[in-house]
Amino acid sequence: MPWFSRSKDNISPDSQKKDLPDGLWEKCPGCGEIIHKKQLESNLWTCVKCEHHFRIGSEEYIQILLDKNSFKEMHKKMRSPDPLKFEDTKKYKERLTSTVKSLGLYEAVKVGTGKIEGRNIAFGCMDFQFIGGSMGSVVGEKIARVIDKAHKSKIPLVIVSESGGARMMEGAYSLMQLAKTSSRLTRLADAGIPYISVITDPTTGGTTASYAMLGDINIAEPNALIGFAGPRVIRQTIGKDLPEGFQKSEFLLEKGFIDVICSRKNLKETINNLLELMT
């Protein structure tokens, strides 16, 4: 005989769930607030209560940062040839095909041109949901080409990064993108054309080690994870505990890696003001 008994009809958690139809509500990871997706969207995917910045993709950033319908995508369907014939739990080629199919994105970055308050810019934005926003040969090539576009058309460059780092499925080919994108940015700097890097949660590994940190101005969203290696690896390597808030925007601002922390709601205005000053 059980100590407690109650009929299944009285169990309540499910009845609460029924009030939250699937896909309409999001729970804030910062404060637990349940927010309707429409409200979240109108608040630019930041929590109405605690300002937590939800992770969003390139489509959303294009909507937030660029003037309406001004984005013209370039090199949209560029695909990786899988130079290493890589296979882990799945063949890399198959992984790419299924990711493209399920997300409707062709790669982990979109590049092109657009306008901010009427000003022409070259623009790139990454997508974390595409294989962890990893930077393989196509991401590197697209970034290099959007830098070239800024250089050739003499227009400022804005890149929004969100990335887990270099794409392991392309090994050294991924690592070569660090040198390629960095050298292109040097050429852009030599021509005196401004580059603003927007760093969002998370930006790590090879992306941090190249174009994400090379902006004339590096802007971070609040509380974003930004680093090179993960905290566990660093802790094991140096054999010391890491300071609180390590690898978060606020810590990096204090240490001088980041120039500005900017809420998503002020991001477009801030970029526009900076470009006004720099051009």
Q: Is 35 in the site for Zn ion (CB under 5 A)?
A: no
Type of residue found at 44: L
**In the bound complex, what is the minimum distance in angstroms from residue 267's beta carbon to Zn ion?**
19
**In the bound complex, what is the minimum distance in angstroms from residue 260's beta carbon to Zn ion?**
22
Q: Which stretch binds Zn ion (CB under 5 A): 52-60, 70-78, 125-133, 189-197?
A: 52-60
Q: Is 222 in the site for Zn ion (CB under 5 A)?
A: no
Nearest to 78 by CA among 125, 28, 136, 123: 136
Instruction: List the x/- string, 93-132, binding to Zn ion by CB under 5 A.
Output: ----------------------------------------
Q: Which stretch binds Zn ion (CB under 5 A): 43-51, 74-82, 211-219, 234-242?
A: 43-51
For residues 47 and 252, which CB has a smaller minimum distance to Zn ion in the complex? 47
**In the bound complex, what is the minimum distance in angstroms from residue 14's beta carbon to Zn ion?**
25
Quick one: angle between helices 58-65 and 267-278, nearest 10? Answer: 60
For residues 46 and 134, which CB has a smaller minimum distance to Zn ion in the complex? 46
Q: Is 76 in the site for Zn ion (CB under 5 A)?
A: no
Residues in binding contact with Zn ion, number by CB under 5 A: 8
Q: Is 34 in the site for Zn ion (CB under 5 A)?
A: no
**In the bound complex, what is the minimum distance in angstroms from residue 26's beta carbon to Zn ion?**
10
In the list 27, 36, 49, 79, the residue contacting Zn ion (rule: CB under 5 A) is: 49
Residues at the interface with Zn ion (CB under 5 A):
28, 30-31, 33, 47, 49-50, 52
